[in-house]
Amino acid sequence: TYRELRPAVSTLQGNLFPGLDDGLMGRAEALAAVDIAKSGPTTSAGIPLKHDMMYAHHAGMGGGHAGPTGRIHHSQMGHPGMDTMELLEPLCPSSLPPLTLAAETSAVNSHPHPQLHGPIYTHSMNGMMGGHPALAPHHAMAMHDTDTDPRELEAFAERFKQRRIKLGVTQADVGKALANLKLPGVGCLSQSTICRFESLTLSHNNMVALKPILQAWLEAAEAQARSKRRDPESSSVLPNGEKKRKRTSIAAPEKRSLEAYFAVQPRPSGEKIAAIAEKLDLKKNVVRVWFCNQRQKQKRMKYSAGQH
DNA sequence: ATGCATGAGTC
DNA sequence: ACTCATGCATA
């Protein structure tokens, strides 16, 4: 009943500035037009599919993520910085057949649940980093230590943000434009993720994985900005009146209590969680998730001890 | 920019 | 039941 689609690509492929075809406006409003996209005129397949899940999902998001086996592999590093542009230079606006990649559909079908998102990176060598450098043969891979160096990541994040702004592109725009890059296994990302990348509020691994992708986009986008100008292709199909998710918020007093508990025991047992939940009059699941997120928060890059 | 949440993959 | 990447909703 659910299919994973990547509608935005059909008509916007090649355009690295969704909603900003002139490269001058730099406004966020236009982005809304892009995602769900143009599936309207061509096909109904691109429309977000209704299903019996709790919340509405935008089919445009998370699209294009390869299955568990189709992770992307870090490849193009920003050496002289031109390898990626070559593939993107010919930005022919030819409307391509609104189809999903075969590899993706098969991967999705093999899953019992809709795959809205998945890790974009390969698990790779997290365990072999400290091993024998000589025994680790990454020929094709241009993954040097500099790519995982927190300082390099930080520097890149900052450069990225500056150049992005210079291009007049919003974080959300970048996220959507990513799909147009058509890198294997890379779909779009949310504004949240781009924001977190720029502010280094992602895990180290996540930063390392996203860097080459964003770098590729940046280079391609700048190349396009230099040369091209596209026709304003826009229309928005903001459909559905489906129920939106409501964000529960934990009040300050409760939050303080949780933090106190967390300081003592970051990983309370199920029973402890239940106890805490009752004491604070919160749903157990809310408390559980809070602890999960708290732990995850601790592992984020910025100011993370031991990294720098 | 960030809080709460989901879901795949693991253990 | 947890970790991790990621996103919707909202401040």
Write out chain A in H/E/C secondary structure: CCCCCCCHHHHHCCCCCCCCCCCCCCCCHHHHHCCCCCHHHHCCCCCCCCCCCCCCCCCCCCCCCCCCCCCECCCCCCCCCCHHHHHHCCCCCCCCCCCCCHHHHHHHHCCCCCCCCCCCECCCCCCCCCCCHHHCCCCCCCCCHHHHCHHHHHHHHHHHHHHHHHCCCCHHHHHHHHHHHCCCCCCCCCHHHHHHHHCCCCEHHHHHHHHHHHHHHHHHHHHHHHHCCCCCCCCCCCCCCCCCCCCCCCCHHHHHHHHHHHHHCCCCCHHHHHHHHHHHCCCHHHHHHHHHHHHHHHCECCCCCCCC
Distance between CA atoms of A78 and A132, rounded to whole angstroms? 26
Q: Which residue's CA is nearest to the C1' of nucleotide C2?
A: A292
Instruction: Write out the two tokens for A252.
Output: 């300050």
User: What residues approach strand C to within 7 A at the CB?
Assistant: A 55-58, 61-62, 116-121, 175, 188-193, 196, 202-203, 205-206, 209-210, 244-247, 249, 267, 270, 273, 288, 291-292, 295-296, 299
Between CA A25 and C1' B4 the distance (Å) reads 33
CA–C1' nearest nucleotide, residue A60:
C7
Predicted local distance difference test score (pLDDT) of residue A144: 73
CA–C1' nearest nucleotide, residue A198:
B1
CA–C1' nearest nucleotide, residue A255:
B3
Strand B, nucleotides < 7 Å from a protein CB: these are 1-10
CA–C1' nearest nucleotide, residue A269:
C1
Between CA A71 and C1' B8 the distance (Å) reads 13
Between CA A180 and C1' B10 the distance (Å) reads 32
CA–C1' nearest nucleotide, residue A274:
C1
CA–C1' nearest nucleotide, residue A126:
C4
Strand C, nucleotides < 7 Å from a protein CB: these are 1-11
* Mean pLDDT for back-to-back runs of 10 residues, chain A (308 residues): 32 50 38 32 32 41 34 34 33 28 32 42 41 40 77 96 97 96 92 98 96 97 82 48 83 97 97 97 97 94 63
Q: Which residue's CA is nearest to the C1' of nucleotide B2?
A: A192
